[in-house]
Amino acid sequence: MLLDLTDDERALKDGLESFADRELAPRIAPFVERHAFPSELVRTFAGLGFMGTAYDPAYAGGGFGARGAAIVAEALARIEPGFAAIYLCNAAPMSVIAHFGSDALKREWLTPLCRGDCIASFGVSEPQGGSDVASTRTRAVRDGDDWILTGAKVFSTNAGTDLHGLSTVVAVTDPDKGPRGLSTFVVPVGTPGFRVGKAGRKVGWRIAPSVELFFDACRIPGRLMVGAEGDGLKQILTTLSLGRILVGAAALGLSRKALGLAASYGRERKVGGRPIFENQGLTFPLADAMTRIHAAELMIRNAACLADAGRPCRIETSMAKLFASELAGEIADLAVQVHGGYGIFEEYEVSGLLGEAKVLQIVEGTSEVQRLIIARELQEA
């Protein structure tokens, strides 16, 4: 497996870096400080077609698959992890529709999402359930050709923004079948009975609002079911695999950001007339960090290649997400330590990286969940 990018992937990366340098980096800081969603920046980014990077060109996508999506997530996270969050949380509902939706559903919703006309959120986690999908209580009851949704979701990122166009929502359609009785629906914004809660302030992903979704006798046309009834669990697991690749890629970008800040500060900062970079107690941990970043990149690229080839990759995606997100926390901690007392002041960009890394260790399945998945593989071997 080579890390070399194809010519098309290189062009994608160059376009991203141009956007990041010209638009994102100079303008994002005030939004982070205010925990505010950067609507115009997201609109510009989406209008360039980057939201559709992974998907079929027949639906206005870029056709780059998981490899291309990982390039996007990493590049954005190196500038602002919260912007990467907006991208990868939009990718989850897009992937459900792309992999399981009918052609008509894709043309109705995937195409505008790829074009950047709107963004989407995913509704899976519930207040009492956390990572346990089997405890889903949101119900969908058939009423003629429609379905009536009742329940609530939490941690739905991108919902409630002025660009929010729809949410994909997992609900119980057959309670007698347990997890096999789950189905997924597209719920357009503005549907009667669909309400979005207020965003809270987070230690990371500060520009990407995460909210509750409420469904009060929300009537959904049958054509907005994604795939077949009862396919919800399969859809969630497939979507989580791509999501874990993208979270891992975002963690890789964050790790590189933290390492760059640490190295830059170490070269410039002098104590007692000497650059602190001359201290091996500093440079050796940074060398180890650089080595482990390379390992994380290999794991993420491998998982993405497996996903694009349609091969089983559940374990590989869990290992990549676990390794990369834990690494991001360690390098963020190291970067703050390198800055010493200055590292805890908000005026220094490095101060916010620990919170960003912690979010990545929790979303798309906590580190404990990833270890559980990997451990089960050992038990079944």
Active site residues: 364
Helix, strand, coil shares, percent, the chain, to 5: 60, 15, 25
Which residue spans within the chain are E strands per DSSP? 119-123, 139-143, 146-157, 164-172, 182-188, 194-196, 210-221, 225-226, 270-271, 274-275
Q: Exposed e or buried b for every residue in 324-345, given b needs 16+ CB within 10 A? A: bbbbbbbbbebbbebbeeebee
Q: CA 208 to CA 83: how far, in whole Å?
A: 7
Q: CA 118 to CA 108: how far, in whole Å?
A: 12
Report residue 335: phi and psi, to 5°. Answer: -65, -40
In Å, how far from its chain's centre is CA 96?
Answer: 14
Q: How many residues does the chain have?
A: 381
Under DSSP, is residue 156 helix (H, G, I), strand (E, B) or coil?
strand
Residues paired with 122 in a beta bridge: 168
Q: CA 15 to CA 166: how far, in whole Å?
A: 27
Token pair 């590989």 in the structure block, residue: 316
Q: Please, are residues 267 and 275 in contact by the beta-carbon 8 Å criterion? A: yes
- Helix-helix angle 280-308:232-268, to 10 degrees: 150
In Å, how far from its chain's centre is CA 146?
Answer: 31
The DSSP annotation for 203-222 comes to SS-TTS-EEEEEEEEEEEEG
Q: Tell me the C-alpha to C-alpha distance, in Å, between residue 143 and each of 179, 215, 221.
A: 22, 16, 10
Q: CA 245 to CA 300: how far, in whole Å?
A: 6
Q: CA 116 to CA 107: how far, in whole Å?
A: 14
Q: CA 136 to CA 116: how far, in whole Å?
A: 31
